[in-house]
Every structure is written in C-alpha cells, then in structure tokens.
C-alpha cells in the first residue's frame, strides 16, 4: 500500500474483502516498532491523520469473531510505504547588514522563520532554512555585508491535499500532480508579496544596540528532487518518477534521488532516514546496509594479530641495517662491473708491454754470457787474460760469435714489438746453439 506523505485522514481497512460477521473486534500491530496505540475507526480501519515517512512499515490486523459459537480469527498483513510526487521551490534572498556576527544573524533568522510561520499555514507548505552565507559588499566592503539566505519550500504541508480525498490510487496521483503545479505558483506569489511587505528586519540586542537586515533580491527556482529520506526506486508503477521512502538499512541526503545502503559501521532502524546512525565505539557492522543496532558487533582482533602489530616496529629496526648493507653491496658490485667493462687497457698496449719485458730479459741473459769468463780445468788465472786469448782459439770464436749474436739480436729485437714473444724466444735459442 502506497500512501502519499502528509496525506490527511487516510484510512486502511483491516480486511481487504467484505466480511459480514457479528460483533467483530480488531487489533492492529506494527512490526519493528514499540507497542503504541493506533487510531482505529469503529469499522476497524487504521487512520493516519498526517502520514509521515516513519509511519511506513509492516502492519498486521487481526479480526476476531464467533461463527456458530466458535471463536474464529483471521490476520491480514500489509506493507505500507510512503511516497511523494516531484515538486519543490528553492528560494534565495540577499540582505544588506552592517554586521556579520553569529549572534546577530541567529536572531535575524529566528525572526524570519517566525514571520514565515503564518505563510506556511496559509499556503499549506513547509519552509526550511538550508544555507546562510555572509560576505563583504562590493560597493562598500569595509562597513557593509551581504547575508545570503537559502530556503527550501516543500509543498506538502498539513492539509495540502484537502482537495484530493479519493481512495483510488490512479485518481489520487493525478490529483496530486495537479495540486503541486497549482501550489507552486501560489507559494511563489505569496513569498514575493511577503518579502515586499517585510523589506527590513530590525534586530535589537541585549545592550540596546540594533541592526537592520534589508532585503534587496529575491530569486526562485522550481526544482524536481526527492525529499530527505526518499528515493526514486520505481516501485510505484502508476508513478515511475515518484519518490519512495527509503527502507531501513538505507538513507538519502538532500538533493539526491537514490536510497543508498548504510556504510559499514552504521545502521538506520526506521523508514525515511536522511542519515545513518554510527555504531558505538569499538563496534562495527559486518556488511553494509545494517538496519538495527543489534547488527553492530565488536571488532574481532585476535591476540596473534595484536602481537604482530606490536612487533612490526622492532622487525623494521632489525631489518633496516641488513637492507642498507645489501643496497651498498649492490652499488659496489655495479661500480666494479662498470670499471671492468669500460676501463680495461687496449690489446695493443698489452702486447707492447709484454714484448718489452721479454726483450729486457733476453738482453740481460746474453749480456751475462758474453762478459763472464770461462770456468774450467784448462782456464788460467783470471788475471791472465792474454793467455786465454792466445792459447784458446775457441775463445776468440766464442767472442766473435757472441758479438755476432749481439748484432743479430739487435736486428731481431727491433722487430720483436711487432711479433709475438714465443717466436722471438725460439730464434734466439737457435742462434745460441
């Protein structure tokens, strides 16, 4: 059953079919709600004088009577959801003032709302303050301020549907749409007249100081948005753009058209919530969309998890030096590989260095043999060099041979730098023997 918000004197029968019984009694109860008294007519109809979002829910009605002297009872179940058609008026009013302090603006807003109360009763609407801003005036920024007041006007006030008393859903919805369009124009005219008549608000403080708030501009914007606690779920097939009340476990804030599940750690126990209620400290819900405080449970944290959390800083301090050492080794190894790859001497320089070393070794070797005296039983005293030269003709041969080798070796050594070391060594040995 769908009932429009702020419906006047909407009645719901206990039994959906006509029953002719003697002396019946009726008993209405609502699920998920504390025991309370309901307005029930003598025919057993449940009566809603001004239907609100919180009146939505699951209801049960039990009818009891006697049939052939035997007590009989029947129970009927209903799911009641509130809804509303689209239509609202957004109003912006600018006021000039000499002060921009909270204590003065609060008194001014209170006086403004009190005066708007009479307009609400006459136009069957609700005027709600949504925002207030205060900033310096462009003309005189040093001693004048602009106070911007934003008002949201809902057309669904008490008795707004006094001309739509049909119990037929299709006829009622059609009447609601026409009434909203008519009331939008009427409320806009009424607000324009109101701010012309109340051009200035004179506010007096406790210290006898007074401040004037003078309005200069009034702007209107017709909007089509859901009220807080309502969303477009398209459950009502006869009015697909109507806003349906958000069920428990969901919410909708201002200027939104969808009902959103409550996030983890929050819950909404009734229909039409504009915000979710957070769980108590140290408690959380397991999944989003919780609809009862019983869904809040304590966070499960085992001893092992807590122990690991306490050990994490110590483990970081232990591992930090090792990580720094590995990082240094990696940098050094990278530097070493770079040096080996790009700083090795050229092959030509290596060959020259090796050839020069071999050449020096060969020169030293032959110098020793060419200048050392003969040692043997036939050799004379070391001082008698002439005897050696005359008595031993081979000595002259050896000397000349050594001299020849020295000359040949010099020519061979001149080319040793262009040839390999093993070839040079073999030639020298061949000439020596």
Q: What CATH number does residue 57 fall under?
A: 2.60.40.10
Please count the structural domains in the chain: 3
Domain-located, residue 215 = yes
Judgement on whether residues 96 and 204 belong to the same structural domain of the protein? yes
Give how far the C-alpha of residue 64 lies from the chain's centroid of Cα atoms, to the nearest Å. Answer: 56
Judgement on whether residues 212 and 94 belong to the same structural domain of the protein? yes
Judgement on whether residues 216 and 231 belong to the same structural domain of the protein? no
Tell me which of 206, 222, 238 is where a domain ends: 222
Does residue 358 carry a pLDDT above 50?
A: no
Tell me which of 222, 248, 280 is where a domain ends: 222
pTM summary value:
0.64
Instruction: Please give the C-alpha separations between residue 218 and each of 195, 205, 229, in angstroms, as whole numbers.
Output: 8, 27, 28
Judgement on whether residues 108 and 208 belong to the same structural domain of the protein? yes
Domain-located, residue 394 = no
Residue 362 CB partners (closer than 8 Å, separation 6+): 409, 413, 424, 425, 428
pLDDT at residue 124, as a whole number: 92
Q: Work out the average pLDDT over 385-389.
A: 37
Give how far the C-alpha of residue 401 lies from the chain's centroid of Cα atoms, to the nearest Å. Answer: 99
Q: Token digits for 307? A: 């122990």
Lowest pLDDT segment from 63-77, 187-201, 310-324, 378-392: 378-392
Residue 326's φ and ψ, nearest 5 degrees, are -60, -40
Residue 424 CB partners (closer than 8 Å, separation 6+): 355, 358, 359, 362, 412, 413, 416
Q: Are 50 and 8 in contact (CB under 8 A)?
A: yes
- Summarised one tens digit per residue, pLDDT across range 191-207 is 999 999 999 998 887 77
Say how many C-beta atoms besides its own lie within 10 A of residue 147's C-beta: 22
Domain-located, residue 97 = yes
Judgement on whether residues 256 and 159 belong to the same structural domain of the protein? no
More confident of the two residues 241 and 413: 241
pLDDT at residue 267, as a whole number: 95
Judgement on whether residues 40 and 128 belong to the same structural domain of the protein? no
Say how many C-beta atoms besides its own lie within 10 A of residue 396's C-beta: 12
Domain-located, residue 253 = yes
pLDDT at residue 307, as a whole number: 54
pLDDT at residue 231, as a whole number: 93
Can you tell me the distance from the alpha carbon of 415 to that of 304, in angstroms, rounded to the nearest whole number? Answer: 82
Judgement on whether residues 242 and 272 belong to the same structural domain of the protein? yes
- Summarised one tens digit per residue, pLDDT across range 217-246 is 889 999 888 999 999 988 888 898 899 999
Domain-located, residue 403 = no
Domain-located, residue 172 = yes
Domain-located, residue 372 = no
Average pLDDT across the chain, whole number: 77
Judgement on whether residues 64 and 99 belong to the same structural domain of the protein? no
- Summarised one tens digit per residue, pLDDT across range 397-410 is 333 333 434 444 43
> CATH number for the domain including 266?
2.10.50
- Length of the chain in residues, anyone? 433
Judgement on whether residues 118 and 216 belong to the same structural domain of the protein? yes
Integer Rg of the chain from CA? 54
Judgement on whether residues 235 and 179 belong to the same structural domain of the protein? no
Tell me which of 82, 97, 125 is where a domain ends: 82
pLDDT at residue 343, as a whole number: 55
Which residue segment(s) compose the domain that 42 sits in? 2-82
Domain-located, residue 23 = yes
Judgement on whether residues 63 and 186 belong to the same structural domain of the protein? no
Judgement on whether residues 9 and 105 belong to the same structural domain of the protein? no
Q: What angle do CA 228, 234, 237 make, to 5 degrees?
A: 130
């Amino acid at each position: 059953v769908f009932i429009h918000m702020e419906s006047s004197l909407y009645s719901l029968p206990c039994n959906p079919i006509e029953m002719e019984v003697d002396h019946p009694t009726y008993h209405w109860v609502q699920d998920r709600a504390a025991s309370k008294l309901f307005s029930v007519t003598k025919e057993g109809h449940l009566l809603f004088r001004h239907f609100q979002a919180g009146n939505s829910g699951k209801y049960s009605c039990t009818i009891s009577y006697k049939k052939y002297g035997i007590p009989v009872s029947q129970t009927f179940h209903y799911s009641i959801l509130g809804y509303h058609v689209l239509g609202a008026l957004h109003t912006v009013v600018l006021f000039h003032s000499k002060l921009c302090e909270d204590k003065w603006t609060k008194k001014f807003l209170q006086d403004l709302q009190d005066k708007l109360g009479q307009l609400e009763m006459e136009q069957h609407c609700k005027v709600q303050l949504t925002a207030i801003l205060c900033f310096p005036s462009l003309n005189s920024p040093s001693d004048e301020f602009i106070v911007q007041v934003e008002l949201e006007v809902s057309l669904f006030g008490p008795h707004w549907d006094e001309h739509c008393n049909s119990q037929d859903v299709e006829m009622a919805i059609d009447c609601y749409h026409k009434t909203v369009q008519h009331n939008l124009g009427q409320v806009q005219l009424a607000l324009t007249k109101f701010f012309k008549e109340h051009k200035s608000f004179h506010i007096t403080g406790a210290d006898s100081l007074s401040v004037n708030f003078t309005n200069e501009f009034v702007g209107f914007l017709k909007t089509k948005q859901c009220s807080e606690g309502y969303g477009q779920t398209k459950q009502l097939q006869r009015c697909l753009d109507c806003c349906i009340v958000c069920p428990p476990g969901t919410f909708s804030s201002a200027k939104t058209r969808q009902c959103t599940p409550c996030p983890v750690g929050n819950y909404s126990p009734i229909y039409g919530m504009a915000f979710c209620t957070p769980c108590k400290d140290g408690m959380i819900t397991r999944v989003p969309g919780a609809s009862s405080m019983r869904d809040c449970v304590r966070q499960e944290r085992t001893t092992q998890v807590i122990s690991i959390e306490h050990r994490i800083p110590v483990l970081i301090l232990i591992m930090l030096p090792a990580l720094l050492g590995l990082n240094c080794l990696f940098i050094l190894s990278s530097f070493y590989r770079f040096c080996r790859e790009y700083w090795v001497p050229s092959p030509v320089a290596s060959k020259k260095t090796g050839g020069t070393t071999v050449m020096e070794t060969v020169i030293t070797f032959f110098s020793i043999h060419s200048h050392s005296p003969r040692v043997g039983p036939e050799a004379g005293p070391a001082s008698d060099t002439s005897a050696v030269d005359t008595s031993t003709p081979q000595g002259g041969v050896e000397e000349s041979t050594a001299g020849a080798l020295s000359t040949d070796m010099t020519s061979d050594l001149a080319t040793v730098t262009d040839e390999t070391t093993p070839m040079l060594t073999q030639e020298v040995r061949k000439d020596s023997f």
